[in-house]
Structure 1
């Protein structure tokens, strides 16, 4: 069964890095590179037609934003996997400060996304959920627990 992975986390939380390192065989669907929802839909439809694994590499902070991807994936016979990135605001802002050019975004935009960030739930339709943390020794990926997390 093909997989649709949905990245969830604020800007500079490591979503794209995780995709490059751990989901490199997936088609990467990213609004920053595609620029329009129409191009995003076209890329998704092409992947659906060929049953290619794909990853939605956007912030996806709300249930509403994730719902359209989950619905489309289910309609096309995909397994839906969510990766919730540990999103400590100050750490993400500090990481963003090291970026250059267009990759660097205003801190207030990161804070605004942080305010909208809602933890995912299996009730949304995910088949699997994981909590991803970058540590001093690498990356930790843990199976999701439905109870509340003290800190993102």
Structure 2
């Protein structure tokens, strides 16, 4: 399967994408400007090539305009003493997190456990040994919920 590119679009489809993404028009308004019937625009937007072009245009617009603008807004709010300390602290953490500068939490430092199917015999034995108390507790709970379904032996009743 080949990747879809802007060259896969007709000129009319390119205009539709441009009106929606770059100019921020509603789909109905963009359809009218691009020469589509307003009711057919949603069918056109679901075409794989058009949907891919919309997605790609949004990504390019976000990288070129949205991200730098968001950064400048965040930076100005962080520097503005009139903005509450709580908002500035929250924004600081978000900016640092997105930039990859947040110290890992305890949860992040815990190594992820292998799936049981990927563990060796020794690793499984070690896991069982480390978690035996929890295993016993769960087995006890399950046993207490179990119902006896064995057949009770009774004296056969003979009629004479």
Q: TM-score band (shorter)?
A: under 0.3
Q: Which has the higher contact order (CA 8 A, sep 6+)?
A: 1
**Higher helix content, 1 or 2:** 2
Considering only CA atoms, is the larger Rg found in Structure 1 or Structure 2? 2
